[in-house]
Amino acid sequence: MLTQAAPVRTFGAGGGLLGGIIDDYDWGGTSLGPICRWPDVVRTTVELILRSPVPIVTLWGEDGVMIYNDAYSGFAGGRHPRLLGSRVREGWPEVADFNDNVMKVGLAGGTLSYRDQELTLHRSGKPEPVWMNLDYSPIVDAAGAVVGVIAIVVETTAKVRAERWLSGEHGRLQTMFEQAPGFMAQLAGADHVIQSANAAYRALAGQRDLLGKPLREALPETVPQGVIAILDQVYLSGTTYTATASPLWLAGSDGERRLHYVDFVYQPVKREDGAVFGIFVQGGDVTVRVEAERALRESEEKFRTFAEAMPNQVWTATRDGKLDWFNTHVYAYSGRDHDTLAGSAWTATVHPDDLPGAQERWAIAVASGAPYDAEFRLRGADGTYRWHLSRAVALRDGDDNVARWIGTSIDIEDQKVIAHRLAALNTDLESTVARRTAERDRMWRLSDRCSAGPSTTSSARTSCSSCTRTTRPRRWPRWRRWARATTSINSRTATGARTAAIACCRGPRRRTPISSTRSAATSRPTANRRSRSAARNWHCSSRRRWRRSAS
């Protein structure tokens, strides 16, 4: 088939590196034979591909002897230059079946074309996926006979991988768009047709049918609220519109309108020439946050009102113990403003002797979260120090962490003064009681001595100066001994002497004959009967006085 010879020409002059390699290669061992015997179609075709920047390989004869250019050698990788002059089936054994089909079709005069054809090649000693654009055409000699196949090989691996990554990225972006916690929507054209809307947007709209509809038709309740007017402004001006906690009434799935507060952005989408062709809507439903902030403000207002109404000093501190708010009583007492009290500046009002203890207790409370309780003196606006009781408790969040501190300072100067006076009074009272107890004991001892009488013998007899009875000594009851002792002390006066005489008359008597008693009774004047009555009264009163003193 290859019988027509041509003058010997070299390929190294204009064929690059492969031209010189082709010149030096021993082609006698191939079906092509030596270069001097190559027909013009072979030489012309080889000269053509050697000057092309596109990777091209020619497959000659039924064996598919490979001759290629410099660009193809880069594609061949580690198999160059072994591929030169080899049969295509032996050169790429991993794709032998694919190349067998190529040779069959090409030698039959047919063509093949593949785009982004994936093949697994061992170019660097290990299998790797490769994507290529492949175009196969038959090579025809002057007589019209097919003598080989020419293949243009353009590797598209990087492009395919990029497209696949972009495709995957688009899928990921679509997933992120759909699952985003905030609402998103893409509006197209001046009528703001809803092209896409994620799950959050559809939930906000009450799960209505939105896609493909203009916004004024899909959400008619937004028209009187000025939403369409804002979108028209963004579309015409090409400027972004942002709103925070904007009130928006929307109908729910049950048809009932509800008030929502939303943060949102209207972002114009522009072409390369700057013309706006759509608007991207992104935002979030912050109704819960707005209501919580409103409740917090109301709670703070109530707290401030309560704190201002209290007669005590009230203050708050951050979680790290820095004071940040004071009621008017703090300013009025200290004579200072907020800047001279906030943070740790309040320590300047504490008495120097009390400051270390107050600071130590406050540091322990802040570190542990335990309640704070301390007494110390605070300097007032007039420069005087007064005792205060300061207490603080921690306010905790949902995770039981300290969020803030709230404390009070109560003036206890008057209580301190009263307590000091009571202590002094108690000391005086104890000394008085001790003195009086000692006096009472002395009187009892004196009573014991006086109760023994003038004689201790059983035969002794005593006479009363106020009567003619004869008495014998006896042991008087304790209450009577006390009365006698009292009478003895007061006997220096006439009243005391008279009382002693009456007490003696009430003492125990000896039994005497009736006749003697009657004679004595008839001989006494009426005044003696009065004296006995007075003596009885005196005995009773003396007994009561003794009981009171004993208790």
Q: pLDDT value at position 499?
A: 43
Cα torsion angle, 7, 8, 13, 15, sign: positive
Q: pLDDT value at position 4?
A: 47
Q: Which of 377, 399, 401, 381 is nearest to 389 (CA)?
A: 377
Q: pLDDT value at position 427?
A: 86
The token pair at 90 is: 């032996």
Question: For 276-383, where are the alpha helices, taking DSSP H only?
Answer: 287-309, 328-334, 355-368
Q: pLDDT value at position 218?
A: 92
Q: Running DSSP on this structure, what letter comes out for residue 347?
A: G
pTM given for the model: 0.44
Contacts for 279 with CB less than 8 Å, ≥ 6 apart: 186, 187, 192, 231, 234, 235, 266, 267, 268, 269
Contacts for 374 with CB less than 8 Å, ≥ 6 apart: 357, 358, 361, 362, 389, 390
Q: pLDDT value at position 359?
A: 92
The span from the CA of 320 to the CA of 312, in Å, is 24
The CA–CA distances, whole Å, from 436 to 67, 442, 490, 537 equal: 138, 10, 19, 28
Q: pLDDT value at position 221?
A: 92
Question: For 451-513, where are the alpha helices, taking DSSP H only?
Answer: 478-489, 494-505
Beta strands 193-197 and 241-251: pairing type?
Answer: unpaired
CB crowding 427-465: b at 16 or more within 10 Å, else e: eeeeeeeeeeeeeeeeeeebbeebbeeeeeeeeeeeebe
Q: pLDDT value at position 532?
A: 58
3-state DSSP of 206-246: CCCCCCCCEHHHHCHHHCCCCHHHHHHHHHHHCCCEEEEEE
The span from the CA of 255 to the CA of 37, in Å, is 91
The span from the CA of 152 to the CA of 54, in Å, is 7
Whether the CB-CB separation of 231 and 279 falls below 8 Å is answered with: yes
The helix-helix angle for 413-450 and 478-489 (nearest 10°) equals 90
The DSSP code sequence of 399-428 is: TS-EEEEEEEEEE-HHHHHHHHHHHHHHHH
pLDDT tens by residue, the chain, 551 residues = 444 444 455 786 667 888 889 988 999 889 999 998 899 999 999 999 999 999 999 999 999 999 999 999 999 988 999 999 999 999 999 999 999 999 999 999 999 999 999 999 998 888 999 999 999 999 999 899 999 999 999 999 999 988 888 777 777 777 788 888 899 999 999 999 999 999 999 999 988 999 999 999 999 999 999 999 999 999 999 999 999 999 999 988 888 899 999 999 999 999 888 899 999 999 999 999 999 888 888 888 888 888 888 888 999 999 999 999 999 999 999 999 999 999 999 999 999 999 999 999 999 999 999 999 999 999 999 999 999 999 999 988 888 899 899 999 999 999 988 988 888 888 888 888 888 888 888 888 877 666 555 544 444 444 444 444 444 455 555 555 555 555 544 444 444 444 444 444 444 444 444 444 444 444 445 545 555 566 566 556 666 665 666 55
Neighbour count for residue 479 (Cβ, 10 Å): 18
Q: pLDDT value at position 180?
A: 85
The span from the CA of 330 to the CA of 335, in Å, is 8
Domains of the chain: 16-157 (3.30.450.20), 180-290 (3.30.450.20), 310-411 (3.30.450.20), 412-510+533-551 (no CATH)
Phi (first) and psi of residue 252, to 5 degrees? -85, -175
Q: pLDDT value at position 535?
A: 59
3-state DSSP of 51-111: CCCCCEEEEECCCCEEEECHHHHHHHHHHCCCCCCCEHHHHCHHHHHHHHHHHHHHHCCCC
